[in-house]
Amino acid sequence: MISARQIRAARALLGWSQQDLADRAIISVNALRRLEGEQVDPRLSTIAAVKTALESAGIDFLPTSGTQGEGVRLRLP
């Protein structure tokens, strides 16, 4: 599962606002704010919609492995 920090980092790489991501993921801005603020236990469907929107825009999610933490990177076009 992706983390709130990865979502915020991915938005930063893309230069997207919360509204931009919410529109692309077809979720409410309030739901995204709560997700990014770790204020709720999000629904899997919400996380899946956000992940799909970000991956479609060229984001790769990097899992934690060994001594490296989670991360994101932007694929080259």
Query: Mind listing the pLDDT tens digit for each residue in 1-36?
Result: 899 999 999 999 999 999 999 999 999 999 999 999
Q: How many domains are contained in the chain?
A: 1
Which structural domain range is residue 49 located in?
4-74
Non-local CB neighbours of 31 within 8 Å, separated by 6+ positions? 22, 42, 46
Q: What is the pLDDT of residue 76?
A: 87
Q: What is the pLDDT of residue 39?
A: 84
- Total residues found in the chain within this entry: 77
35-74 pLDDT, tens per residue? Answer: 999 888 888 999 999 999 999 999 999 999 889 999 999 9
Task: Check which CATH number belongs to the domain holding 46 and give it.
Answer: 1.10.260.40
Closest alpha carbon to 58 in 27, 29, 18, 15 = 15
Q: How far apart are CA 39 and CA 72, in angstroms?
A: 22
- Helix pair 18-25, 44-56: axis angle to 10 deg: 100
Q: How far apart are CA 16 and CA 10, in angstroms?
A: 9
